[in-house]
Structure formats: C-alpha cells, structure tokens
Amino acid sequence: MSSRRDFIQKLSFGFGLTAISDLTFRPDNPPAFRPADKQLRVALMGLGGYANIVAKAMQDCKMATIAGIVSGTPSKIETWKQKYNIPDKNIYNYETVGELKNNPDIDLVYITTPNSLHHKHVLQIAAAGKNVLCEKPVADNAKQAREMIAACKKANVRFYIGYRLHFEPHTKEVIRMREAGEFGKIMHVNNYMGFKIGDPTQWRLKKALAGGGALMDVGVYSLNGARYATGEEPVWVTAQETKTDPVKFAEVDETILFQLGFPSGAIANCGCTYNFNNTERLYINGDKGFAELSPAFGYGPIKGRTHLGPLNQPVVMHQTLQMDGIADIILNNKPDPHVTGEEGLKDMIVIDAIYESIRKGGAKIFINK
C-alpha cells in the first residue's frame, strides 16, 4: 500500500465484496426534520476518496439517503449529480453553502473535508441550521471542538462525529461484553493503528490542512478504542515520538507511542504510525477474560476473538450501519452510542495532552477535562 488512498480503496473494495454525553440539542425543541417517510436526507461536503466510500455504502441504507453535495471541484459535480440523481437545487460549493438554510430538503450535512477545515465547515453548517456529522478528528484541538459544540447548541442542531466503529457489530459486541462484566476488571489495553503513507505531496502531510500527522489521522482510533475498551476517561498520559524521515514528515508526526492511565488503575499502551503497514489491533485484558480485534479499526472486515471463542458477528459495510444509525437517532430518538460532538471533544483533550507530553520530553501529563 503506497498511500492512504490505496489503503482506503483496498479495504473498502474487499469489504464490499463480502458484503459522555448528552445530545447537543434541547429535547423540548428538537431541530427540524421530516420524519414522515423515515428518510434522513444527507448532503456530503467534500467529495474526496472517503466521500465516495460513504456514498457507495449509503446505497444500502434503509433510513438515510444522499440528497445533496457540497464541493469545491466543479469537475466532480456532474459525475455525482448523475450517479446519485442529485437535483441542481441541492448542489452547493464552499461559497454558496450558507444557502442551505433555505433548503428544506436537506436534514444533515456530512463533512469529510481535510481535518483543519472541520472547524470552519461545522460553524458554517450550524449557522445554516442543519444537523452536522463531521469526520474525525473533530478539529485541530480541544479549543476548536468546544467552539463547534457551542455553535451547534446555539443553532439548536445536532452534532455527531464519524465514529463508525460504534455501529460495527464486532466492536459493539466487545463493548457489550465489557459493560456486562464478562472480562472482569479491565487491567490492560493494547491498541495500534497505522500504515505506510505514500505521496509526499498529499494534504495529510501538510500541517495547515491535516492539523498533525499519524496521531490526528489514525491515532484517534487507538485512543478512542482505549476509551471504549475501558469505559473510562484517562486521567494521565505520557507520549513519545519517533521520526525516521525528517524530510517527508517535516510538518507532521510520523510515529507516536502513548500510554494512558485510567481511574480504575487500568493502563493502555497505544501507538500510531505513518511508517509501516500491518498495524491494526485492539486487545483488552481483564482479570476474567480477554478480547482481541485484528483487524480492529479499518473498513473491514473486522475479525476477533475472546476467551469464549471467535466473534462471528455479521459483516456489513460500516458506513451503511453508521448512516442508518445516525438516521435512527435523529428520526426516532434512539440512544446515542457515544458519537456526539462531546465525544470528539474528549478525544481532542487527550490528543492535546499527548502533544504536550511530547513537547516536554515524554513527561506525564495529568488531563484536565
């Protein structure tokens, strides 16, 4: 795999062949949507590689449908318009996106633009009065995440983060087992995610667009996985960075290892990298049992086992489950499986602390919420 694009395409293609927080709105004054036909009408903002994966997955959705697009690349618009039968009135660019407020045919905008644009775009969509689903990481830092949450609350719209694994059956089963006490007291978590990044000119290696490197892109999987593996929020972190190619990774981090401490005494050893492949694992060790997912974080198929035997949950394209799940939450007020903007903020608080630890030579940083 020579680039993250190859990584994404390979995983999604192979998969396709086989196949804390309260909500950020006031329950007595929910945002407007059309529940009659039980279809959440979604506009995709940013028509890059991941948006194509989401769009493909949404063809199998029962409760969510592609209703519009927002793109800064005119050459992409005609293809998307024809492929997904999108009317002209539901097509926007980054200059006209504010006009969404006058369009009752779009309920939610899914933002899949580069990381450092998330803050600006979430504020724009909130100002337009539309519900927001934003890819992770939610922002460049916790300060921005708090501003995004505040903007959505002020606009009375719902704000979610693209934590697709919270809808994925193997991951959900591991969380269920942990919540049921089947692993006993969680003692240790070991999580890794990474790949060898290719094209040195891509936006993921430019801090102005990516916000950071491996930690922001794939480290969030290791971090979020440690949080749902323990069901706790870390209270301290230590971290170390390794950089073997200071030219290619001049602006962003290449490989980061970090350790998390939790109130119960559980410890997590986590890592993320842009320098090597075959790095995708979640391992939970409790005093009564264990769980292992490997692959654990990619687009699938997720595979796993526990002390009770193999996990044989259904293999379904993650984004299909995610989009139907978000629709079910909004249209039917179903419980949120920890995918709100506040969940994104919790990850950003820890990411800020990880970077602080690295700046301070690996010092233990106590995390302030």
- From residue 289, alpha-carbon distances to 223, 283, 306 in Å are 21, 11, 7
Catalytic residue among 92, 160, 163, 221: 221
Of 92, 130, 136, 355, which residue is the catalytic one? 136
Two structure tokens written together for 219:
């480290």
CB of 242 within 8 A of CB of 365?
no
Task: Name the packing angle between helices 142-155 and 341-359 (round to 10°).
Answer: 160
Three-state SS sequence of the chain? CCCHHHHHHHHHHHHHHCCCCCCCCCCCCCCCCCCCCCCEEEEEECCCHHHHHHHHHHCCCCCEEEEEEECCCHHHHHHHHHHHCCCHHHEECCCCHHHHHHCCCCCEEEECCCHHHHHHHHHHHHHCCCEEEECCCCCCCHHHHHHHHHHHHHHCCCEEECCHHHHCHHHHHHHHHHHCCCCCCEEEEEEEEECCCCCCCCHHHCHHHHCCCHHHHHHHHHHHHHHHHHCCCCCEEEEEEECCCCCCCCCCCCEEEEEEECCCCCEEEEEEECCCCCEEEEEEEECCCEEEECCCCCCCCCCEEECCEEECCCCCCHHHHHHHHHHHHHHHCCCCCCCEHHHHHHHHHHHHHHHHHHHCCCCCEECCC
CA distances from 306 to 88, 158, 225, 283 (A): 50, 36, 16, 10
136 is catalytic: yes
Q: In the annotation, is 110 catalytic?
A: no
Q: Which residues are catalytic?
A: 136, 221
